[in-house]
A and B are shown apart, each in its own frame.
Chain A
Amino acid sequence: MTYMETNSNLAAAADSSPGSGLPALDPAEVRKSAEEFAMRLLVVEDDRDAADYLRKAFREAGHVVDVATDGEDGLVLALDGGYDVLVVDRMLPRRDGLSLIAHLRGRGDQTPALILSALGQVDDRVTGLRAGGDDYLPKPYAFSELLARVEALARRGGPQAADTLYRVGDLELDRLAHRVSRAGQEIVLQPREFRLLEYLMRHAGQVVTRTMLLENVWDYHFDPQTNVIDVHVSRLRSKIDKGFDPPLLHTVRGAGYILRDGAR
């Protein structure tokens, strides 16, 4: 379900849309600014190669990673606690991933858990989330997708769910009054654009992928094949960034988008 911009004749809208006029950010550049949010992660994955790859990649992104190679070891480590996010493969020796998460939840442990699975159909995701998983990513995945989702699960730095006013730089979003303004100037948004911006602002400073937007703003989990999300984002960008400085909504090459205060 990895989203691709290369295949579509309709793509390329995102990076060169009117109003942005700036090159896409390199993921490494985004990383540098995110390093202050180092997380402690537990990866439970029985395939050694995959586990090693994840350990290496998460470390490069500035996070601390422990690895367990079966469900029982994973449960013992997870129960010790102290992790920000668990990344759990679904099919594991000794104890499967769903049972591991269900066991944790049964003990009142609410550490966010992302399920990785080769089973990627609608039913599989539903059973995974019912077992207590917070997110579900079918294999094979792009690491940038996994990283963005894990960081979103940790919910660090961004506003809390209870906040009614989101603010990034001089951009303000009032969730109760459904009003958006930048530098005091009111911006009129369509309902869907409002929800898109709301999601981006809740995850301000974090990379948000196209599939995350499709899932959280539209509640669809399939691959729309065409860059529909890019067009929505570029429309939103033309409303919130056009005529203002600095630009807040950036494209991150090969990963997705990030909304952040350029001054920081």
Chain B
Amino acid sequence: MTALGRLIRTTAFKLIAAYLLVFAIFAGSVIAYLGWHTQRLVTRQAVEAIENDTSFMQAQFERGGISRLVQVVNRRSRAPDAGLLLVTSFNGEPLAGNVLNLPLNFLDKEGWREIDYVRSEDQAAPPSRALVNVLFLPGEFRLLIGRDVVEREELRKIIIGPALWGLGLLVVLGVAGGLFVTRRVLKRIDQMTAISDGIMAGDMSGRLAVAGTGDEFDRLAFSLNAMLDRIEALMAGLKQVSDNIAHDLKTPLTRLRNRAEDALRTARSDEEWRAATEQTIDESDGLIRTFDALLMIARAEAGQASAAAVRFDLADTLASVAELYEPVADESGLDLTLESVEPLGVIGVRELLAQVLSNLIDNAIKYSAPDIPGARGTIRLAASRVDGKARIVVADCGPGIPEADRPRVLERFVRLEASRTRPGFGLGLSLVVAVVHLHGGSLRLEDNEPGLRVIIDLPLAPAMEEVAAV
């Protein structure tokens, strides 16, 4: 019962039931209309025949009186396929005709009526139905003229009976088909529900089955699977983040603790205490910085639209960051060159992109500062429009990154490994990647021969006029 109840409650079944009901009403109306029209046609034919007979009989009566009428009726009523005919005297005694078993006083009223009758020449037959017209003739004579309408009844039976049967069959088949279809639908839904339950219980690798028929269930399964892929990737990212947080924060925290313990054990003079305290503050500042970067990456990775996003000139931002770093680069024996010819309007968070450029330039300075005093190196910055995108290039003359390591360096958070060997590079670059992706851009690493060339492509904002038009 509950299984049937579940079937009946499904949308598919309700749809089928509603469709069936509408179809039945429509079919019923057509049948009723058809039946009514045939009946009317048969009735009209009978009426016409009776009217013809009536005018003929009246003419006979007028020409030869009652004797002629009786004569004609007698002759006619014996003919095969004759209509109903009866002439009576004023007291109802039959004078001529072929009708028996009339109801009492039936002929006391003029006009059209339907009756059941028996023919006088075939008295064993069951009563039949007829349409009759009763007339009063001069001399109190009564004349009954009629036509059998049993054909009409038979016609009705022929049309209505099978139609009703057909309709009944249709409903039965419809309900059965509905149940069948619904059960199939329900089965696939149940499969989906079962898999979803499994996923909710923690098995993130579960995926909905795709039947390959390309139907709406397949499409639904496809998009749900895509959603699950995205969620799984995000969860994996989250796990990676928490693992990295654990590692990247616990390591310096341990160092911090060791240093404090060491100071407690060994520090004797005020200077030693002071130095230990200052080191502790430095260490905690480093921790805060790592934590900030991790949070920022996580937020950029989450890809939320930012309230701080505006339209701004990326070339101008690059120039401003370059200006900020130029003195430091100069002191490190590096010439910072900037190639930029036109404004590059982009939409995004200026602050984040400025930080990206700052990280890249900072890395470039750290890795390509010449070791030999007096030697000069170059860091080349460029902002240009390439293939409808805003392109930023930061090229240094440092050791670069071996080609084999480049994809790995760009992987999310993987760089933390690298950060242990190359301080400062790791989180910086993964922040760069996260922010560039957040802005719908892409990042490539190339060999600058020698050095590293970072190429960032970001979508250009629509032209100002278009923005105004929107």
Q: Which residues of A contact B332 (CB under 8 A)?
A: 10
How far is A127 from B295 in the complex, measured between Cα atoms in Å? Answer: 18
Q: Number of A interface residues, CB 8 Å?
A: 31
Q: Mark B259-300, 1 if CB is under 8 A from A, else 0.
A: 000000000000000000010011011101100100110010
Would you call A222 and B328 a contact (CB within 8 A)?
Answer: no
Q: A121-B299, A123-B308 are contacts. A222–B282 as well, Cβ < 8 Å?
A: no
Q: Which residues of B contact A225 (CB under 8 A)?
A: 289, 358-359, 362, 424, 428
Would you call B306 and A4 a contact (CB within 8 A)?
Answer: no
Question: Of the 9-residue stretches A146-154, A161-169, A200-208, A228-236, which lies at the interface with chain B?
Answer: A228-236
Q: State whether the Cβ of A1 lies closer than 8 Å to any Cβ in chain B.
A: yes
Would you call A192 and B323 a contact (CB within 8 A)?
Answer: yes
Q: Which residues of B contact A127 (CB under 8 A)?
A: 307
Would you call A228 and B349 a contact (CB within 8 A)?
Answer: no
Would you call A222 and B295 a contact (CB within 8 A)?
Answer: no
**Minimal beta-carbon separation of B324 from chain A (angstroms):** 5
Q: State whether the Cβ of B365 lies closer than 8 Å to any Cβ in chain A.
A: yes
Would you call B327 and A235 a contact (CB within 8 A)?
Answer: yes
Q: A121-B299, A122-B349 are contacts. A222–B324 as well, Cβ < 8 Å?
A: no
Q: Which residues of B contact A121 (CB under 8 A)?
A: 295-296, 299
Q: A122-B308, A140-B288 are contacts. A228–B352 as well, Cβ < 8 Å?
A: no
B282 — nearest CB in chain A belongs to which residue? A6
How far is A121 from B296 in the complex, measured between Cα atoms in Å? Answer: 7
Which residues of A, 203-232, contact B by the 8 Å Cβ criterion? 218, 220-228, 231-232
**Minimal beta-carbon separation of A59 from chain B (angstroms):** 21
Q: State whether the Cβ of B354 lies closer than 8 Å to any Cβ in chain A.
A: yes
Q: State whether the Cβ of A13 lies closer than 8 Å to any Cβ in chain B.
A: yes
How far is A196 from B419 in the complex, measured between Cα atoms in Å? Answer: 34
**Minimal beta-carbon separation of A147 from chain B (angstroms):** 16
Q: Which residues of B contact A231 (CB under 8 A)?
A: 327-328, 331
Q: Which residues of A contact B116 (CB under 8 A)?
A: none
**Minimal beta-carbon separation of B132 from chain A (angstroms):** 96
Q: Which residues of A contact B308 (CB under 8 A)?
A: 122-123, 126
Q: State whether the Cβ of A120 lies closer than 8 Å to any Cβ in chain B.
A: yes
The A interface is mostly helix, strand or loop, or mixed, namely loop
Q: Which residues of A contact B285 (CB under 8 A)?
A: 2, 4, 7, 142
Q: A2-B285, A122-B306, A140-B288 are contacts. A222–B331 as well, Cβ < 8 Å?
A: no
How far is A89 from B233 in the complex, measured between Cα atoms in Å? Answer: 35
Would you call B362 and A226 a contact (CB within 8 A)?
Answer: yes
How far is A138 from B296 in the complex, measured between Cα atoms in Å? Answer: 13
Would you call A224 and B351 a contact (CB within 8 A)?
Answer: no
Q: State whether the Cβ of B355 lies closer than 8 Å to any Cβ in chain A.
A: yes
Of the candidates A126, A221, A228, which one forms a contact with B327 in the assembled complex, judged by CB atoms under 8 Å apart?
A228
Q: Mark A114-148, 1 if CB is under 8 A from B, else 0.
A: 00000011110011000000000010101000000
Q: Which residues of B contact A224 (CB under 8 A)?
A: 324-325, 358, 362
Which residues of B, 349-395, contact A by the 8 Å Cβ criterion? 349, 351-352, 354-355, 358-359, 362, 365-366
User: Which of A138, A140, A221, A231 has its CB near the most chain B CB atoms (within 10 A)?
Assistant: A231
Would you call A13 and B362 a contact (CB within 8 A)?
Answer: no
Q: Which residues of A contact B120 (CB under 8 A)?
A: none
Q: State whether the Cβ of B10 lies closer than 8 Å to any Cβ in chain A.
A: no
Would you call B324 and A220 a contact (CB within 8 A)?
Answer: yes
Q: Which residues of A contact B281 (CB under 8 A)?
A: 142
How far is A231 from B278 in the complex, measured between Cα atoms in Å? Answer: 23
Q: Which residues of A contact B123 (CB under 8 A)?
A: none
**Minimal beta-carbon separation of B122 from chain A (angstroms):** 103
Would you call B289 and A123 a contact (CB within 8 A)?
Answer: no
Q: Which residues of A contact B328 (CB under 8 A)?
A: 10, 226-228, 231
Of the candidates B282, B295, B327, B351, which one forms a contact with A4 in the assembled complex, judged by CB atoms under 8 Å apart?
B282
Q: State whether the Cβ of B320 lies closer than 8 Å to any Cβ in chain A.
A: yes
**Minimal beta-carbon separation of B241 from chain A (angstroms):** 15
Q: Which residues of B contact A7 (CB under 8 A)?
A: 282, 285-286
A192 — nearest CB in chain B belongs to which residue? B323
User: Can you list 13 contacts pairing A with B, beta carbon distance less than 8 Å?
Assistant: A4-B282, A6-B282, A122-B308, A122-B352, A126-B307, A140-B288, A218-B320, A222-B351, A225-B359, A225-B424, A226-B366, A232-B327, A235-B327
Q: A121-B299, A232-B327 are in contact. List 16 more A-B contacts (CB 8 A).
A: A1-B292, A2-B289, A4-B285, A4-B289, A6-B282, A120-B292, A120-B295, A121-B296, A122-B351, A126-B307, A127-B307, A220-B324, A222-B351, A228-B325, A228-B328, A231-B328
